[in-house]
């Protein structure tokens, strides 16, 4: 937003969806796709015979509604299935310097990429190149490296299982585990904490469990915007008698009340109240909150032995309970109050709801995963559930709500910088010795690129430059690469902040029909609850010369590895990839047959299915997680960087954030009224955000409007990716190396020059 545009601020809304959601969906669909394409797309999104919505990873119910999509799903579909295209004339007219001055929004609005493009070292712009030459440029660069570890292969979470499996096979055959992905910045902390405590990195909850729960915690998550279809599930749970506790520094509209657009009563009525209790927590206070709840449970059980804890479960299925108890009983309430900003009464109210509930689910997203102590916080959530046996029985469990629509499946397929558990089976099946060293994750990849140790960057989707922290550091690093390659659907900043040479390899998206050798190809994806199902593109692709991700990977593999099989077979029939997945990855028996069943199939999950915990001791682990209060120097605030209602990560759909009452602007910082007064800043004043970090470097994001907002005291919020410049590369979560995008210490200064 430029300053002359009219920023409009209204009070935040108290409900989500309803008629405005329908209106916005319809207008986005027709504006970008036109009537015919729009109708086809919306009729088949999330239907068993159609394609998986490229939006979020929330599962589809067994029985589909005719409109099994949400406002933000429609925006995601419209963004991809747009009628607009970028042609070679566009690149002739816009040198890279010019494109680098444009906003991410502008770049995305230009439309779908249609032809491979190449920027050579001495050139100032991209020029068209044939597919064959493009593949050869990348292949010869890869072949010329002294060591395969000098290349990095990033993945974003939209890639199908088939493309992901082929990609990691190619990369490992090439000789490296340098497979960073968006998950490193997302739910890595969840995977790390869950693997350690319950032995499986994924959530243990199904949609049926949500239906049967007595109490659902929604912690650090804004489902009204980021997982709108989750509201339907929460509404159903409420009707079945569940209570909901929202834990969030912001009073997010989607947690307060939901007007279900799938029902007439939802459109015209008052809707369903969702959260029974909102804990208006200070950012990063969650570890303290769950420690406090755990202490209260232990104390209640001392008062009435045997009535509170599930002793049978604890004895049969867990380890280290005594060690945990000793420490939990020492939890300091002054520290709890300082860390959470909550009163003992508020925490007491949540405690009473817990005591009344037999079946408890905890859902969470980025509000828990992107802090220095994120892994410890999630371990403490697991302690909380273990105490009353809330894992591995109906209506209960851990529910990390994933972001990208196939981010969970990509991990299952081996997109991981660590060798997956089935690495030996991979080597046997394809007769090679896979690399065993741990490769580079996202943050370590940036460090290695900056140090000149990595020379080639390949991105299978995503927007590495904008999604990663410390934008100035990362951009400077990327410019040092010998070659950067983006396999993508649409232009973004990663195409215009390039290495010495750069390639754009345009690809089909989820909505596009994928014909290979005259055969219609189906791909598969795994949702946040471990259900694998088919996805079939239905729309005419934006150009006849696009290759699918699978085809690009297979051709690259043939050129680099100088072998024909299995790549020719993979490219002409994706079912053959699934056969090989079945041979290597546990849980995929009869993959092709079961994929043909409507709704797909559920992957095994030992704690959920059998209360079996595949940890080192075969039992779930209680853990000790020290309570530290995130201390903030006077005059500073904790900044959390979030999504508006009008964006998908780095893809910006528009400049509004309807539920939060913000229109026509993204450069806003939401601050509590009392903090504004204390800092002497007026509502609406232009400020710079300056982040302070132990390295002494001052990182600055300029010209944000301060907006008075009911966020917790001492905290503020602003949108990503504009604020990524403030997140220090070296400020990461212990154990998962995830950037601490939700706890950046900042000061607000009157805005400097323009
Ligand atoms: N439309 C749309 N859908 C999306 C996305 C999108 O950008 N747009 N992104 C997708 C992706 S990749 C992901 S990972 C998910 C993200 O889904 P979310 O995690 O819901 O996304 P964020 O906007 O980061 O919201 C974080 C929430 O946590 C709260 N929060 C921040 N810090 C804390 C804290 O310390 N404690 C607590 N208790 N709460 C805190 C914030 O106030 C906010 O409500 O959504 C996915 N779905
Ligand atoms: N400050 C801050 N930073 C964050 C976060 C935060 O909360 N705060 N959140 C983090 C999180 S949770 C995540 S997941 C990451 C997201 O990081 P990424 O996944 O890297 O980023 P996206 O913006 O989702 O990527 C969008 C691009 O993907 C390409 N694309 C879209 N669909 C397809 C497809 O089907 N195939 C291919 N090949 N390309 C496609 C398009 O070119 C589009 O521009 O960002 C992280 N960064
Ligand atoms: Mo994410």
Q: Quick: pLDDT tens for 567-598.
A: 999 999 999 999 999 999 999 999 999 999 99
Q: Show the tokens assigned to 598.
A: 């409507």
- Proportion of the chain above pLDDT 90, given as a percent: 89
Q: Which ligand is nearest the CA of 381, by number?
A: 1
Please name which of 182, 608, 639 lies closest in space to residue 402, comparing C-alpha atoms: 182
Q: What single string gives the DSSP state of each residue in 189-206? A: HHHHHHHHHHS-SS----
Nearest CA to ligand 1 atom 18: 221
- How far apart CA 550 and CA 570 sit, in angstroms, is 8
Q: 194-227 pLDDT, tens per residue?
A: 999 999 999 999 999 999 999 999 999 999 999 9
Residue 464 to residue 503: CA distance in whole angstroms = 15
Q: Where in the chain is the domain with CATH 3.40.50.740?
A: 85-179+406-595
Beta-carbon contacts of residue 141 (< 8 Å; ≥ 6 apart): 455, 456, 482, 483, 501
Q: Which residues line ligand 1 (CB under 6 A)?
A: 55-56, 72, 186, 219-222, 225-227, 247-250, 252, 281, 283-284, 286, 365-367, 403-404, 640, 642-643, 647-649, 742
Q: Which residues contact 713 (CB under 8 A, 6 or more apart)?
A: 282, 341, 672, 674, 675
20 CA from centroid of ligand 3 (Å): 26
Closest CA to 317 of 625, 602, 587, 606: 606
With CA atoms as reference, report the closest residue to 465 among 746, 725, 121.
Answer: 725
CA-641 nearest atom, ligand 1: 24
d(CA 114, CA 605): 41
Q: Mean pLDDT across the chain, nearest whole number?
A: 96
- Residues near ligand 2 with C-beta < 6 Å? 156-158, 182, 185-186, 366, 403-404, 460-464, 467, 487-490, 492, 507, 509-510, 549, 641, 649-651, 720, 723-724, 727, 741
Coil, strand or helix at 249: coil
Report whether pLDDT(679) > 80. yes
Instruction: Report residues near ion ligand 3: CB below 5 Å.
Output: 186, 403
What confidence tens digit (pLDDT) does each residue in 232-245 have? 999 999 999 999 99
Going from the C-alpha of 704 to that of each of 491, 649, 687, 726, the distances in angstroms are: 26, 19, 5, 13
| Pocket-testing residue among 52, 403, 466, 662, ligand 1, by greatest number of atoms within 8 A of Cβ | 403
* For residues 623-637, average pLDDT: 96
Can you tell me the distance from the alpha carbon of 18 to that of 71, in angstroms, rounded to the nearest whole number?
10
Q: Ligand 1, residues 369, 640, 659: which to mutate, most atoms within 8 A of Cβ?
A: 640
Tens-place pLDDT, residues 250-298: 999 999 999 988 887 777 788 899 999 999 999 999 999 999 999 999 9
pLDDT in tens, 1-14: 444 468 999 999 99
CATH architecture of the domain with residue range 85-179+406-595: 3-Layer(aba) Sandwich (3.40)
Between the CA of 512 and the centroid of ligand 1 the distance, in Å, is 28
Instruction: State in words which class domain 188-400 has.
Output: alpha beta
Ligand 2 atom closest to the Cα of residue 460 is 38
Q: How far is the CA of 249 from the centre of ligand 3 (A)?
A: 19
Counting ligands in written order, the one closest to the CA of 57 is 1
Provide φ and ψ at 752, rounded to 5°: -80, -150
In the predicted model, is pLDDT for residue 130 greater than 90? Answer: yes
Rounded Cα–Cα distance for residues 475 and 494 (Å): 9
Name, in order, each residue with C-beta under 8 angstroms of 571's C-beta and a sequence gap of 6 or more. 516, 550, 551, 554, 555
Residues of the chain with CATH 3.40.228.10: 188-400
Query: Euclidean distance between the first and final Cα of the chain, in Å?
Result: 13
Distance 367 CA to ligand 2 centre (A): 17
Which residues of the chain does CATH 2.40.40.20 include? 637-750
Residue (of 179, 142, 184) closest to 164 by Cα position: 179
Question: At CA 246, angle to CA 12 and CA 644, rounded to 5?
Answer: 40
637-750 has which fold? Barwin-like endoglucanases (2.40.40)
Q: Per-residue pLDDT tens for 182-198?
A: 999 999 999 999 999 99
Which protein residue has the closest C-alpha to ligand 2 atom 4?
467
Among protein residues, the one with the nearest Cα to ligand 1's atom 1 is 226
Distance between Cα 651 and ligand 2 center (Å): 8
Question: Looking at the CA of 442, which ligand is closest?
Answer: 2
Region 69-78 average pLDDT: 90
* Residues 598-623 pLDDT 10s: 999 999 999 999 999 999 999 999 99
């Amino acid at each position: 937003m430029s300053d002359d545009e009219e920023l409009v601020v209204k009070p935040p809304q108290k409900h989500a969806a309803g008629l405005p959601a329908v209106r916005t969906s319809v207008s986005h669909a027709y504006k970008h796709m036109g009537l015919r394409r729009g109708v086809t797309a919306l009729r088949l999104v999330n239907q068993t015979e159609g394609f998986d919505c490229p939006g979020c990873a929330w599962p589809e119910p067994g029985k589909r509604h005719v409109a099994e999509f949400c406002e933000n799903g429609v925006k995601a579909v419209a963004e991809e299935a747009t009628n607009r295209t970028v042609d070679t004339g566009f690149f002739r007219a816009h040198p890279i310097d010019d494109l680098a001055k444009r906003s991410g929004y502008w770049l995305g609005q230009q439309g779908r990429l249609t032809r491979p493009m190449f920027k050579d070292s001495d050139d100032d712009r991209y020029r068209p190149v044939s597919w064959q030459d493009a593949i050869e440029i990348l292949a010869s660069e890869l072949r010329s490296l002294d060591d395969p570890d000098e290349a990095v292969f990033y993945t974003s979470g939209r890639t199908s299982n088939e493309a992901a499996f082929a990609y990691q096979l190619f990369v490992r055959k090439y000789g490296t585990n340098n497979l960073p992905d968006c998950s490193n910045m997302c739910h890595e902390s969840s995977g790390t904490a869950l693997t350690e405590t319950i032995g499986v990195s994924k959530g243990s909850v199904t949609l049926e469990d949500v239906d049967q729960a007595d109490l659902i915690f929604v912690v650090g998550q804004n489902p009204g915007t980021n997982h709108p279809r989750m509201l339907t599930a929460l509404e159903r749970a409420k009707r079945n008698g569940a209570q909901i506790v929202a834990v969030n520094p912001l009073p997010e509209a989607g947690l307060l009340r939901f007007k279900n657009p799938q029902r007439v009563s939802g459109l015209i009525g008052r809707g369903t109240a969702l959260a029974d209790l909102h804990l208006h927590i200070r950012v990063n206070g969650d570890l303290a909150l769950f420690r406090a709840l755990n202490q209260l449970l232990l104390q209640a059980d001392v008062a009435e032995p045997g009535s509170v804890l599930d002793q049978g479960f604890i004895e049969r299925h867990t380890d280290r309970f005594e060690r945990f108890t000793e420490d939990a009983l020492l939890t300091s309430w002054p520290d709890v109050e300082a860390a959470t900003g909550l009163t003992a009464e508020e925490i007491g109210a949540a405690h009473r709801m817990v005591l009344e509930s037999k079946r408890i689910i905890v859902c969470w997203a980025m509000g828990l995963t992107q802090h220095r102590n994120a892994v410890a916080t999630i371990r403490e959530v697991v302690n909380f559930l273990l105490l009353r046996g809330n894992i591995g029985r109906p209506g209960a469990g851990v529910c990390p709500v994933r972001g990208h629509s196939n981010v969970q499946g990509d991990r299952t397929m081996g997109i991981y910088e660590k060798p997956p558990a089935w690495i030996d089976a991979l080597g046997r099946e394809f007769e090679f010795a896979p690399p065993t060293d741990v490769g580079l994750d996202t943050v370590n990849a940036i460090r290695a690129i900056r140090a000149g140790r990595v020379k080639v960057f390949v991105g299978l989707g995503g927007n590495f430059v904008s999604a990663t922290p410390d934008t100035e550091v990362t951009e400077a690093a990327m410019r040092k690469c010998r070659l950067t390659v983006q396999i993508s659907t649409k232009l973004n900043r990663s195409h215009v902040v390039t290495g010495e040479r750069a390639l754009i390899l345009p690809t089909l998206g989820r909505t596009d029909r994928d014909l290979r050798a005259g055969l219609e190809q189906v791909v598969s994806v795994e949702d946040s609850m471990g259900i694998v199902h088919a996805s079939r593109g239905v729309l005419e692709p934006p150009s006849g010369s696009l290759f699918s991700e699978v085809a690009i990977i297979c051709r690259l593999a043939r050129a680099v590895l100088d072998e024909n099989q299995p790549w020719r077979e993979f490219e002409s029939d994706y079912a053959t990839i699934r056969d090989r997945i079945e041979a290597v990855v546990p849980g995929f028996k009869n993959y092709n047959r079961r994929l043909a069943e409507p709704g797909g199939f559920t992957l095994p999950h030992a704690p959920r299915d059998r209360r079996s915990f595949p940890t080192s001791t075969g039992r779930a682990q209680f853990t000790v997680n020290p309570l530290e209060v995130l201390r903030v120097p006077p005059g500073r605030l904790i900044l959390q960087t979030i999504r508006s209602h009008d964006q998908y990560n780095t893809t910006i759909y528009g400049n509004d954030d309807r539920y939060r009452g913000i229109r026509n602007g993204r450069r806003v910082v939401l601050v509590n009224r009392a903090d504004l007064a204390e800092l002497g800043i007026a509502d609406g004043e232009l400020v710079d955000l300056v982040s302070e970090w132990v390295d002494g470097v001052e990182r600055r994001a300029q010209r944000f409007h301060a907006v008075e907002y009911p966020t917790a005291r001492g905290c503020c919020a602003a949108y990503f990716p504009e604020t990524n410049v403030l997140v220090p590369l070296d400020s990461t979560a212990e154990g998962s190396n995830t950037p601490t995008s939700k706890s950046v210490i900042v000061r607000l200064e009157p805005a400097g020059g323009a």
